């Protein structure tokens, strides 16, 4: 035998009475029973829990679709009082939804810690060796704070400021609700009991470290003390004193109904005693009553029946909507359930659930161990089979490997043989080949050293005949080459132009540039400390030719202008929240710069990003970076050997 399921859900078959239980009374004041669901004196309380982002915003904003979803029979919001509600959002998050802020926190955690934020529950092994569930990260949390009728938004901000100073936790939204409550008697508007409270939305993350703040048991007790002190309210009893867990709204109502049921039963027992005493009234009273007319006696009998019915209703268990629980099986099928029976049933359900959970956990552990053992055994079997196959293959090719390891081969894989001498016709071993090549290398180095010394002497002789300015120009080229610079500065350009002014024609100045760069290469090759790449010299050579033909000034003016326009286009796109790609005008500006420069496309895009990224709002940098990458790869035609923009520069 069990009651119908669902403590707070509609019953599958309603009982014959449909209205919530009312406060019973007799006109002659023989029986009076008053039910109070909540204390009229509010005590301070601040219960913090992970924020249900979607539900929280709909509830706090009083969205129309949210209000329409509430059951009219259990509506706990008086819309005509909603005008008394107040809301506050920190200035830097106005217009930002909680979901958007949550996504921003995820990105911040990834940037600060290098790891994704753990959002789901995970199973870990505790110190006792047993698995336990650990909650995922709750970066945004919500607390419900009891308030007084005269509590202001300034009072709540003062409280949240203290919390921030003490633990670093930051309140990003505050919502005061003065339109919630309940009617002690649904048919009597004067019995309205307001539930004055405020919802505080907290950002629980340290934005410097990317980790959440950790508040222990003592911290939470201190937070409760701080709420009572700041809001000037009586401090609620500590959990360590009551031993009670915090109850959500529906569970709280059920608990209050149980408490009221016990209180009502005590009152009933008291009144039964009074009735028993009245039954011992004097004979005169009984004689007076016995002489009552049938009509009067019927009225008294009806009142007695009504009294018995109300006594029965007072002991009947009901859900939060006031509808009674009914047994669905057993000897009491279709009978109403008393509060005592419901409590015993709930206790039995709880114990059965605990037993089932324990059994399920043990089964899961056994299965996990079996799966692990099977996986380990399979890995060992597969590894052994793979090792055996490798050994067999090695034995098969072992003979050939010995030859390959011992004897020398040409680049084409052809065995090498001695020609002439005492070993004529014999195969050359690797050691013999290495020894021969080492001797040849040593002779080559000696020869190269001798040639290098002669070349250096020749270079010095030729260089000695050159002018001082020519030598300085050569040294400038070498220094810029060593520094991996792609163009000359204006002061170096002016000096080089002055030096090559000895040539009266453009062709003569270009020949001057060619000679200077040839001498720079010779100097690099004759200096053992220099190991420079000839390809890195080409941009400098091209820049020097512009000095020679007089186009350097106009080229760099246009180059700088196009670079600024390209940076401006990228910044403009990045700071436009509605843009996800470069428009044609912006793309043309960047392409114009890349085309005019003529350098490496990848490196030019890196230069653009390093100049533009600090000017783009942090939230939009990822999107801007992707748009530039899209343009960078547009003309690569699937070439995978190109290097993309360095991710490390993505958030410069």
Q: Span 79-106, mean pLDDT? A: 92
* Distance from C-alpha of 29 to C-alpha of 199, rounded to nearest angstrom: 43
Residues 429, 544, single domain; the answer is no
Listed in sequence order, the residues at least 6 apart from 13 whose beta carbon sits closer than 8 Å to its beta carbon are 4, 326
Q: 635 and 527 in one domain?
A: no
Q: Which residue did the predictor score with more confidence, 124 or 161?
A: 161
Q: Which of 626, 651, 641, 563 is nearest to 599 (CA)?
A: 563
pLDDT band at 166 (very low <50, low <70, confident <90, very high): very high
Lookup: tokens for 2: 């069990």
Among residues 433, 448, 465, which one ends one of the domains? 465
Domain count, the chain: 4
576 assigned to some structural domain = yes
Task: Read off the CATH number of the domain in which 181 is found.
Answer: 3.30.930.30
| Domain co-membership, 544 together with 567 | no
Domain limit, last residue, from 246, 274, 296: 246
Residue 215 lies in a domain: yes
Task: Judge whether 171 lies within some domain.
Answer: yes
Q: Check whether residue 108 and residue 157 sit in a common domain.
A: yes
Q: Provide the domain limits for residue 453.
A: 414-465
- Residues 182, 195: contact at Cβ < 8 Å? yes
Among 310, 441, 250, residue whose Cα is nearest residue 26: 310
Pair 543, 632 in one domain: no
pLDDT digits (tens, 9 = 90+) for 415-433: 888 888 888 888 888 788 7
Give the rounded percent of residues in the chain with a pLDDT score beyond 90: 14
Q: Does 264 map to a domain?
A: no
**Tokens coding 566:** 């390209």
636 located within any domain: yes
**Exposed/middle/buried for 542, CB within 10 Å: 0-12, 13-18, 19+?**
middle
Task: Examine the domain organization and report whether 93 and 167 are in the same domain.
Answer: yes
Q: Let me know whether 201 and 72 are in one domain.
A: yes
Where b means 16+ CB within 10 Å and e means fewer, 254-280 reads bebbbebbeebbebbeebeeeeeeeee
| 478-516: pLDDT as tens digits | 888 888 888 888 888 888 888 888 888 989 888 988 888
In whole angstroms, what separates CA 26 from the centre of its chain? 61
**Residue 347 within a domain:** no
- Residue 434 pLDDT more than 70? yes
Please answer whether residues 384 and 406 qualify as being in contact, where contact means their C-beta atoms are separated by less than 8 angstroms. no
Question: Is 543 inside any structural domain?
Answer: yes
Look at residues 229, 246, 263 and tell me which one is the last residue of a structural domain: 246
Q: Identify whether residues 436 and 564 lie together within a single domain.
A: no
Predicted pLDDT of residue 490: 86
Residue 276 falls within a domain, yes or no?
no
- Mark whether 85 and 228 lie in a shared domain: yes
Closest C-alpha to 560, from 609, 596, 529: 596
**Is residue 230's pLDDT more than 60?**
yes
**Are 250 and 320 contacting, i.e. CB atoms less than 8 angstroms apart?**
yes
Same domain, 180 and 234: yes
Higher pLDDT, 568 or 185: 568
pLDDT tens figures, 234-258: 876 655 565 555 555 555 555 655 6
- The packing angle between helices 584-597 and 621-632, to 10°, is 60
Judge if 485 and 459 occupy the same domain: no
Q: Which of 58-72, 283-297, 444-458 has the largest mean confidence?
A: 58-72
Q: Are residues 102 and 227 in the same domain?
A: yes
Q: What is the mean pLDDT of residues 76-88?
A: 89
CB proximity list for 517: less than 8 A, separation 6 or greater: 477, 537, 540, 541, 544
The whole-angstrom distance between residue 301's C-alpha and the CA centroid of its chain comes to 70
SS3 72: helix
For residue 128, name the pLDDT band (cuts at 50, 70, 90). Answer: low
CA 327 to chain CA centroid, nearest Å: 47
């Amino acid at each position: 035998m069990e009651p119908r399921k669902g403590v707070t859900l509609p019953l599958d078959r309603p009982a014959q009475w449909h209205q919530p239980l009312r406060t019973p009374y007799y006109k002659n004041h023989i029986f009076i029973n008053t039910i109070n669901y909540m204390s009229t004196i509010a005590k301070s309380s601040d219960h913090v829990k992970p924020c249900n982002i979607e539900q929280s915003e709909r509830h706090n904003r009083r969205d129309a679709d949210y209000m329409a979803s509430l059951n009219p029979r259990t509506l706990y919001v008086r819309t005509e009082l909603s005008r008394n509600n107040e809301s506050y959002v920190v200035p830097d998050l106005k217009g930002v939804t909680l979901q958007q802020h949550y996504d921003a926190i995820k990105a911040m955690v990834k940037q600060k810690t290098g790891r994704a934020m753990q959002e789901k529950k995970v199973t870990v092994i505790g110190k006792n060796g047993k698995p336990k569930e650990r909650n995922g990260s709750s970066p945004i949390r919500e607390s419900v704070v009891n308030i007084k009728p005269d509590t202001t938004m300034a009072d709540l901000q003062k409280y949240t400021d203290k919390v921030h100073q003490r633990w670093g936790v930051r309140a990003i939204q505050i919502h005061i609700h003065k339109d919630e409550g309940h009617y002690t008697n649904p048919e009597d508007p004067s019995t309205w009991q307001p539930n004055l409270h405020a919802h505080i939305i907290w950002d629980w993350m340290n934005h410097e470290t990317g980790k959440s703040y950790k508040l222990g048991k003592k911290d939470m007790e201190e937070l409760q003390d701080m709420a009572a002190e700041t809001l000037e309210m009586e401090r609620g009893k500590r959990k360590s004193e009551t031993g009670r867990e915090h109850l959500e709204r529906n569970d709280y109502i059920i608990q209050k109904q149980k408490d009221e049921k016990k209180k009502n039963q005590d009152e009933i027992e008291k009144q039964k005693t009074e009735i028993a005493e009245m039954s011992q009234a004097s004979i005169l009273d009984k004689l007076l009553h016995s002489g009552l007319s049938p009509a009067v006696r019927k009225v008294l009998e009806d009142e007695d029946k009504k009294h018995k019915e109300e006594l029965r209703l007072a002991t009947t268990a009901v859900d939060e909507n006031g509808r009674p629980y009914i047994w669905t099986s057993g000897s009491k099928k279709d009978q109403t359930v008393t509060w005592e029976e419901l409590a015993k049933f709930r206790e039995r359900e709880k114990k059965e659930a605990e037993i089932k959970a324990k059994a399920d956990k043990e089964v899961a552990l056994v299965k996990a161990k079996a799966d692990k053992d099977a996986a380990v055994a399979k890995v060992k079997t597969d590894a052994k089979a793979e090792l055996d196959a490798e050994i067999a293959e090695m034995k098969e090719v072992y003979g050939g490997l010995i030859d390959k390891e011992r004897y020398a081969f040409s680049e084409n894989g052809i065995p090498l043989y001695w020609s002439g001498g005492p070993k004529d016709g014999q195969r050359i071993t690797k050691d013999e080949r290495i020894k021969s090549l080492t001797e040849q290398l040593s002779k080559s180095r000696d020869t190269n050293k001798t040639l290098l010394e002669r070349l250096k002497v020749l270079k010095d002789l030729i260089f000695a005949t050159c002018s001082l300015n020519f030598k300085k120009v050569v040294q400038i080229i070498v220094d810029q080459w060593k520094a991996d610079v792609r163009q000359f500065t204006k002061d170096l350009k002016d000096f080089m132009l002055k030096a090559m002014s000895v040539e009266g024609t453009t062709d003569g100045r270009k020949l001057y540039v060619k000679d200077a760069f040839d001498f720079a290469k010779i100097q690099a090759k004759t200096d053992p400390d220099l190991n420079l790449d000839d390809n890195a010299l080409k941009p400098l050579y091209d820049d020097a030719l512009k000095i020679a033909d007089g186009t350097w000034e106009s080229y760099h003016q246009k180059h700088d202008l196009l670079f600024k326009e390209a940076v401006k286009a990228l910044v403009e796109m990045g700071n436009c929240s509605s843009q996800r790609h470069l428009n044609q005008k912006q793309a043309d500006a960047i392409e114009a710069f890349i085309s005019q420069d003529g350098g490496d496309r990848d490196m030019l895009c890196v230069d653009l990003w390093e100049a533009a990224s600090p000017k783009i709002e942090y939230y939009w940098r990822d999107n801007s970076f992707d748009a530039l990458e899209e343009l960078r790869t547009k003309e690569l035609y699937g070439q995978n050997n190109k290097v993309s923009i360095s991710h490390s520069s993505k958030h410069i």
